[in-house]
Every structure is written in C-alpha cells, then in structure tokens.
Amino acid sequence: MEKRCQKVETVPGGCPSSPRIERIVEDAVRSGEYRSAEEVLSEAVSVWQARHPAAEPSQDDRQAAIERLKNFGKTHHLSLRGITIKQLCDEARP
C-alpha cells in the first residue's frame, strides 16, 4: 500500500501534526473542554496508551533477564545482601 506524503506542521509545543489534527486540537481548546493544545494531546496519548498496553515480557524473557542478572553479579562480585533474586523479582512486579 502506497502512502501519500502530506505537509506536516508543528502545533504549539513542537509536536508535529497535520493540518487536520491541528484543526481538531484548536476546536477542542476553543470549545472550552480543554485549556490548551497540550491538554488535548495529553489526553489523546493517555487514551492511546490505554488501548495499547505495553506487552508483558514472556516467562522466557524474565528467566533470561534473571540469568543475565546472576551472571552480571558473579562477574562483578556483587551481593544482594541476603535478598534472593526471586524476592527481588517479586518485589518489582506491579
């Protein structure tokens, strides 16, 4: 699929946008629902993030990270001062 290039301008604050997006942001601010373009864009980003949550690492990815951590600690003679890596990993989970 070929995409057509269009002129991209910058809204206040340096965020690149198309003229269409710029009009939408200006209309949202003009409506009084938002105080600034930044507020409109901030909400848009929040909505996008809610729809696209960060991918959870797989169990294999976690295990590989644990092994890298173990090897790094051994190589550099580091200590967790009595905390196990499992405790450390459990503590880091949301």
> CA 31 to CA 62: how far, in whole Å?
47
For every residue of 43-79, DSSP letters joined together read HHHHHHHHHSPPPPPPHHHHHHHHHHHHHHHHHTT--
pLDDT tens digits, 57-94:
888 888 898 888 888 888 888 777 788 777 877 877 66
> Residue 7 above 50 pLDDT?
no
Residues 65 and 45 in one domain: no
Residues 72 and 41 in one domain: no
Residues 46 and 25 in one domain: yes
Residue 44, domain extent = 9-51
> Residue 3 above 50 pLDDT?
no
Give domain status of residue 3, yes or no.
Answer: no
Residues 88 and 69 in one domain: yes
Residues 40 and 13 in one domain: yes
> Residue 40 above 70 pLDDT?
yes
pTM over 0.85: no
